[in-house]
Chain A
Amino acid sequence: MNPQVASNVNAPSPSTEAGKLATAAGAQSPLLRIRSTGGWRAVDVSELWRFRELLWFMMVRDIKIRYKQTALGIAWAVIQPLSTVLIFSLLFGRLARLPSDGVPYTLSTLVALLPWQLFVYALSQSSNSLVAEQRLIAKVYFPRLIVPMASVLAGVVDFLIAALLTLGAIIIFDVAGWFHFTLRLRVLALPGFALLALVTALAVGIWLSALNVKYRDVRYVLPFITQMWLFVTPVAYASTLVPSAYRALYGLNPMAGVVEGFRWGILGTRTPDWTLIFVSTAMVLALLISGLFYFRRVERSFADLV
């Protein structure tokens, strides 16, 4: 045999024949074209949908392994918010006497921590997700977006456990007479706010996870980002503390709207500024869409870089 054989294959077959083959084969089996692509591209929603089972299994795996090999297991989902509330109550409630809109400080903070911890968990997990899955990325093809998405969704279980804890706290406060709880219809808005927190985490997480593949600095920047973000979100204090002149600027932080929304929905505090929530939703969407485009642009090189 001579090398000619290989290069013979190179000769393009008549285009009509190739075209026929593509359509003939297309009847039963799909035709996949592998080409060098470049530039920006949109998210392939139908492909994501085809891989929905993988998203599910990866999410379930993240949930299952989260507390494996921990002595306290799922109890951590309760201990974490509880200890944070304790420290905040002592430091900011007792010592600094930060305002809490007439609601007991502890309860006000517990309610605020509910969406906040969901957000922080989803953000940090998704930001590190691609690097954590580098073996998978180098060995199997699947839409890479599934990785940060699964990490974000896995946070929901902890959120639900923390929600039960909050419910228990509300009952205790109500029975003890420290706070009078009224169930209002607006509680139905809470899933919407929780979703906004998740989408915010996903939007930032998509940006950071993709950047993290190329620049491992993200790992070091992340704790700093979440800490700063906590300061500009009314978790440890009520948003009334912020001078009205800055409130418009404040609304640019979607988590401020989310936390206010939770307090409003559960504790019946001031109605959130809907314009601000609209603005922050728009901002999150802008961040999400730009993040998706950036992710899709750079995901081609993930396998070569991780």
Chain B
Amino acid sequence: MTELAVRVEGIGKRYELGGPQAGYQTLREKLVEWGRNPFAGMRKGKTTRATFWALRGVSFEVKKGEVIGIIGRNGAGKSTLLKILSRITEPTEGGADIHGRIGSLLEVGTGFHPELTGRENVFLNGAILGMPRQEIIRKFDEIIAFAEIEKFVDTAVKHYSSGMYMRLAFAVAAHLEPEILVVDEVLAVGDAAFQKKCLGKMGEVAQGGRTVLFVSHQMNAVKSLCTKALWLKDGQVVDFADTNQLITRYLSQNGGETEWIASGNSAKLSNPFFDPTRFALVNPDLVPITGPVGAGDRVGVLIEGNAQQEHSALTVGFAVTAATGELMFWSLATDQPQDRWPHYDNGANRLVAWLPTHFLNEGDYVIELIVSLHFIQWMSQPGVNAPQLRLSVRGGLSQSPLWMMARPGLNAPLVEFDKIPLNRFTEREDRNG
């Protein structure tokens, strides 16, 4: 019998509209309100303010040792769920039973103070995360070694590079050993090498028989770490099932269109540097494609947006993810030689990027818009808030009548094969000699 670790039953969380910021009033407002209607507070159902449910009727069970990925777009209620499970906020209705010591990591480096040294921060952060002092002392050397900051243990962390800072923060977190671990997207830190190390550590944790609930936008990470996944949408559970199946469904449901046009509710993307207005898959005549394309068909990714202000770090591009969850590649307009970088005109701009032909395998792909100020700010982030398009590649992979279906492997590039004479090198040697 496998024991139950977490049991969530009918959890709901209601917030007042206007976001948490609107939650606090000044005493004057309260007094004015009270002066206008002194008896309002005495009646039942006193809140006249609009409310919304960030989470409603969420139920699921996690057995000991299971690693659960929680996926969903921004605003689906993933973070609210984690906050409730970590006891940071209370549910409005329903509840959860947690069997075992729970530790949560909603952010790395919580409570780090720039003026304190690495050593001091390790102890403070450890205590904040719920590690007993003895345990921190025992693991201290290991933590420092993992973070690769041995030489700077007694330096104030404000003098650390951002990489060192994140490494130390993650190192403390990684040495947390609760029976049940709740993690929110902390893998997205540091450079690629460190990310790999973090992912490895997470895998270790997952294999160590601990129960993990893991929120991520990176389908690759979810896929490699989690056995099951919980898909949230608009505060409700869409599905709770085997990871691979669920991710395929999740991605196919999300990117169903071949054209995206900015509407009023995409306000989150708007920015003065490159405000995307249209994102579409087009044929060479710039007409949006409908239906599947062949592997040899020329397909363009059309990106239109308004610019008002220049920024040297502006990055525009797109990400291609297979519907099965593997990230295929990112492509950015600034990948090209600098003299070919687009100069955005004040007002409307149009870019078109031609996808390599004979490169993608047969299958379904999600194309997501990337707009960011590199290392500064995300405007359109894949997996988070980026508009998504769907590309279906069917056939055309090979000229051989023997190959009609998908190729084994991720990609299906067309590679040149030459037949060369057996004595070609010998000939050359002869000539040179």
B24 and A215 within 8 A (CB): yes
With the chains together, A306 CA to B19 CA distance in Å? 11
Output the nearest chain A residue to B134 by Cβ-Cβ distance. A53
Residues of A within 8 A of B86 (CB): 140-141
A1 and B239 within 8 A (CB): yes
A135 and B128 within 8 A (CB): no
A33 within 8 A of B: yes
B326 within 8 A of A: no
B237 and A300 within 8 A (CB): no
B347 within 8 A of A: no
B23 and A33 within 8 A (CB): no
Residues of A within 8 A of B128 (CB): 54, 57, 136, 140, 142
A61 and B116 within 8 A (CB): yes
Interfacial residues of chain A within 224-251, with CB under 8 A of chain B in the complex: none
Residues of A within 8 A of B104 (CB): 140-141
Residues of A within 8 A of B237 (CB): 3, 6-7
Residues of A within 8 A of B90 (CB): 34-37, 300
A32-B28 contact, Cβ under 8 Å, with A54-B128, A64-B120, A65-B115: no
A305 within 8 A of B: yes
Interfacial residues of chain A within 119-147, with CB under 8 A of chain B in the complex: 135-142
- Chief secondary structure at chain A's binding surface: helix
A43 within 8 A of B: no
Chain A 8-32 interface 0/1 with B at a Cβ cutoff of 8 Å (1 = within)? 0110100000100110110001111
A138 and B88 within 8 A (CB): yes
Residues of A within 8 A of B87 (CB): 32, 34, 141
A44 within 8 A of B: no
A30 and B100 within 8 A (CB): yes
B110 and A139 within 8 A (CB): yes
- Chain B min CB distance to A275 (Å): 36
Residues of B within 8 A of A68 (CB): 115
Task: Tell me which of B26, B90, B92 has the highest count of chain A C-beta atoms within 10 A of its own C-beta.
Answer: B90
B242 and A1 within 8 A (CB): yes
Residues of B within 8 A of A214 (CB): 23-25
Output the nearest chain B residue to A299 by Cβ-Cβ distance. B90
Number of residues in B with C-beta < 8 Å to the partner?
66
Output the nearest chain B residue to A66 by Cβ-Cβ distance. B115
Output the nearest chain A residue to B129 by Cβ-Cβ distance. A140
Residues of A within 8 A of B113 (CB): 61, 65
Interfacial residues of chain B within 194-245, with CB under 8 A of chain A in the complex: 230, 237-242, 245
Residues of B within 8 A of A174 (CB): none
Mark the stretch among B2-10, B39-47, B356-364 that contacts chain A. Answer: B2-10
Output the nearest chain A residue to B92 by Cβ-Cβ distance. A36
B89 within 8 A of A: yes
Output the nearest chain B residue to A65 by Cβ-Cβ distance. B115
A-B Cβ contacts below 8 A, count: 158
A139 and B106 within 8 A (CB): yes
- Chain B min CB distance to A93 (Å): 39
Interfacial residues of chain A within 53-75, with CB under 8 A of chain B in the complex: 53-54, 56-58, 61, 64-65, 68-69
With the chains together, A192 CA to B130 CA distance in Å? 33
With the chains together, A12 CA to B110 CA distance in Å? 37
A36-B133 contact, Cβ under 8 Å, with A54-B128, A65-B116, A217-B28: no
Residues of A within 8 A of B28 (CB): 217
Residues of B within 8 A of A34 (CB): 84-85, 87, 90-91, 95-98
A10-B83 contact, Cβ under 8 Å, with A138-B88, A139-B107, A305-B20: no
Which of A135, A217, A301, A303 has a CB less than 8 Å from the CB of B27? Answer: A217
Which of A1, A25, A136 has a CB less than 8 Å from the CB of B246? Answer: A1
A304 and B179 within 8 A (CB): no
Output the nearest chain A residue to B57 by Cβ-Cβ distance. A10
- Chain B min CB distance to A272 (Å): 36
The 9 nearest A-B residue pairs measured at CB: A29-B100, A25-B99, A141-B87, A35-B95, A6-B237, A1-B241, A32-B98, A68-B115, A34-B96
Interface residues, chain A, CB within 8 Å of chain B?
1-3, 5-7, 9-10, 12, 18, 21-22, 24-25, 29-37, 53-54, 56-58, 61, 64-65, 68-69, 135-142, 213-217, 300-301, 303-306
Interface residues, chain B, CB within 8 Å of chain A?
3-4, 7, 9-10, 15, 20, 23-28, 30, 57, 59-61, 83-102, 104, 106-107, 110-111, 113, 115-116, 120, 123-124, 127-130, 132-133, 179, 230, 237-242, 245-246, 249
For this complex, 28 residue pairs linking A to B, each with C-beta atoms less than 8 Å apart, are A6-B230, A10-B10, A10-B59, A12-B9, A25-B100, A29-B99, A32-B98, A32-B102, A34-B97, A36-B93, A53-B127, A57-B128, A61-B116, A61-B124, A68-B115, A135-B111, A139-B106, A140-B104, A140-B111, A141-B86, A141-B104, A215-B25, A215-B26, A216-B24, A216-B26, A301-B23, A303-B88, A304-B89
In the complex, besides A7-B237, A139-B88, 9 extra interface pairs with C-beta distance below 8 angstroms are A10-B10, A21-B4, A25-B3, A35-B95, A57-B123, A57-B124, A61-B116, A64-B120, A138-B88
